Amino acid sequence: MALDPIAEALLKQVRQELGYREKGGQHTKFGHWYAERVQDPQYRDAPWCDMFIAWAADRAGVADYVGQFAWTPSHAVWFIKQDAWSAEPEPGALVFFDWKGGKSYQGVDHVGIVERVSGDKIHTIEANVDRVWLKRKVRETDKVVGYGLPRVVQANARLTEIRSTEQPLAPVPGAREAQGSPFDVLGTPQALLAAMVLTTIVLSLRFAGRRRGTHRRFPGPWNAPHPHTPRPPTARRPAQGHPAEGRPTQGRPTQGRSTGSRPIAAQPTGASSATPCAPGPGAAAGAAEGASGPPPAPHPVAVPRARVPAGAGHAGTPTRRRPYEPTPRRDSGTRSG
């Protein structure tokens, strides 16, 4: 069976390193090369079976199809993603082992290169074998998880390049584009964006008039007057100097006002000789006031030997006393007629 160019170049490079032995502390030239490549010094003394394959592929110029890894499970996953994973061995293929006999890529422990296949056995070239050597080995397939095929990686890469150039850069002259339905745009990103904008506008208009938060004004109590209900008329407070008509002033007699009873004149203060006071000019003025309007200011009535209550001569002026003055006391003998 003729070897493909990738397998031939890779096997030629690894055969030149047969018999290599690691240095003290598990240091190898392959580990140092890989540590410099990835800028991580921890790989200088790491297990070097996969780093040796990365070094050989780089020297052979086939690293793009073989891969560059130090962690064997990740290398197996790379072949699976490249759709270059196989259960059948072939020369130039990478063979992945699980010493526990598992068949999952997660349990891969070791990797080598298939040199040839003989019946149920495979002849390999492996690094870090017997802890220190790079040498040939004959393996059973019961510990094999699978095989990675570099030639398939190359074929798939070319197929991807061909497919990317199948579509012409410009439409063919004279070709008519297929007429689609107007509903074909419903699932496009532009249609979804337009729907989101329209929904936002509708919701903002709907909730724009609603007041939220603590500043909202609540309706008044049930017994609050309506703003358009007319208020009942109230009695106006009379101006100073003009007492309300029909409302006698407490503490002084009413002179000539029409209140439903006859006028009461000021009475003299005496225990035994109490006689009514003669009506003065204010009585006639009070009678005239009830008929034709407000009367002139009444004049005090001068009565000899009689006490006149304060303010009796000034009907429109209320009696004002200072807080420290005693309140006048009415004698028990005073009576009103």
pLDDT for res 171:
43
What phi and psi values does residue 58 have, to the nearest 5 degrees? -65, -40
- Please give the sequence-ordered ranges of beta strands (E in DSSP) within the chain, or none if there are none: 85-86, 94-97, 110-118, 121-129, 133-140, 144-148
pLDDT for res 328:
62
Token pair 């070791």 is found at 110
pLDDT for res 202:
87
pLDDT for res 35:
95
pLDDT for res 190:
78
- Sign of the dihedral through C-alpha 66, 69, 75, 77: negative
User: Whole-angstrom Cα distance, residue 149 to residue 89?
Assistant: 9
Give me the architecture of the 5-157 domain, per CATH. Alpha-Beta Complex (3.90)
pLDDT for res 314:
53
Burial label, 57 (beta-carbon count in 10 A; 0-12, 13-18, 19+): buried
pTM of the model as a whole: 0.50
pLDDT for res 134:
92
Residue ranges of the chain with per-residue pLDDT less than 70: 1, 159-187, 209-337
What are the domain boundaries of the chain? 5-157
